[in-house]
Amino acid sequence: MLYGPFTQCLPMSGLPLHGGLLDEQLSIIEDAGIVIRNGRIVEIGSFESLKEVFPDEQRISISDKKVVALPAFVDCHTHLCWGGNRVHDYALRVAGKSYLEIAETGGGIMDSVRATRAASEEELVAVILNQVQDHLKRGIATIEVKSGYGLSVDDELKMLRAIQTANEQTAAILIPTFLGAHLKPSDFEGSNRDYLEMLIREVVPVIKKEKLAARADIFVEQGAFSIEEAEWYAKEMQDLGFEMTMHVDQFSKGGAELAVSLGCVSADHLEQTQDEAAVRFGNSDTVAVALPGASLGLGMQFTPARTLLDNNASLAIATDWNPGSAPMGDLVTQAALLGASQKLTIVETLAAITYRAGYALRQHVGTIEKGKEARVTIFETDDYRNIFYRQGQLRPHCTIIGSDCNIYD
């Protein structure tokens, strides 16, 4: 099938993984077409030229309006699998209680743990699919999904199995991450180290046997796990073949440097990251993942994205969509607000939710290239910059996944 014509097509290919980007570096194909066969991209180029080269292809007109085509977006940090909600936490926060104060009194993550433990695997699958469908409507076709609200052997495995089942029932790619090390649950008798050892001894063998996840995460923070505990756990998990990512520098600094030194695939949050740590990202393959949804949800400063890019970091932007600190889940809105606050060029913002976010997951997604599976999101506009100018209020018209043009409205 020959899709088009597109007023603009932005392949996002050939751009560097690291450092700042100028809008002039962006390659734009005007009056473009995309040829897709068996779900894969065969050719990209001038629509008129493609009509001549591929005269027998069925021609698909997306809209009678002007449209632009971009790689489907990538959300590389979410917690889409949960039970219940945390509206009570939100009311406490806006009334002046801090995230850590709420957690210390038994709220916060433990509220979600109780509700998630009470939910069946089938109920969790339904929750995931409902929220994935919202992401598809927003042009997001690759989504990382963490466990971490079970915090027991059975419930962590229940979450990961629910993610696996949901992945089989959606056009989106779901990338599971094991976050049993979210925090030590209040009903576990033993130290933080005892809990981490239990995860490795009792949960990890099942994860590997059932192929439930190839990635693991740990929350490095006051009230969760220390830098020393995280270093031991990360090394153990890496030795077992897991790619490691870390929640770091959200409320206190120090974790980002650990993540980089251990060669983690990404370090996420980074609201407290200082200049000296930013320099280390520039000399590594660890992707710095900004989570503006958490900053908005908690009323705190954004990740220093401009500083990270100026120090040659690879920057991704993700939603952190979760029931507590980041309930919005709107990637483009959050990316646009972070970009305005941190003075990111539009191509820097776009790279952070396409191919650089894909690299944070070590997935070859986020570009439109020959030979790749077709994952293309399409907006009714004559200028791609309107997507961020409208700060998330311009929604995708449709998203092409594989050989089908799926309209999510």
Query: Which residues are CB-neighbours of 357 under 8 A, at least 6 positions away?
Result: 73, 74, 75, 76, 142, 287, 289, 316, 317, 318, 366
Are 157 and 93 spatial neighbours (Cβ–Cβ below 8 Å)? no
Q: Count Cβ neighbours within 10 Å for each residue of 328-362 and write b for 16 or more, e otherwise.
A: bbbbbbbbbbbbeebebbbbbbbbbbbbbbbbbbe
Question: What is the tens place of the pLDDT at every residue in 311-343?
Answer: 999 999 999 999 999 999 999 999 999 999 999
Residue 101 has what pLDDT? Answer: 82
Are 310 and 316 spatial neighbours (Cβ–Cβ below 8 Å)? no
The percentage of residues in the chain with a pLDDT greater than 90, rounded to a whole number, is 88
Average pLDDT, the chain: 95
Q: How far apart are CA 6 and CA 393, in angstroms?
A: 21
Homologous superfamily of domain range 2-71+366-406:
Urease, subunit C, domain 1 (2.30.40.10)
Residue 409 has what pLDDT? Answer: 56
Q: How far apart are CA 380 and CA 253, in angstroms?
A: 42
How many other CB atoms sit within 10 Å of the CB of residue 281? Answer: 27
Q: Which class would CATH give 74-360?
A: alpha beta
Q: Where are the domains of the chain?
A: 2-71+366-406, 74-360
Q: How far apart are CA 203 and CA 220, in angstroms?
A: 20
Residues of the chain with pLDDT under 70: 405, 407-409
Question: What is the tens place of the pLDDT at every residue in 156-194?
Answer: 999 999 999 999 999 999 999 999 999 999 999 999 999
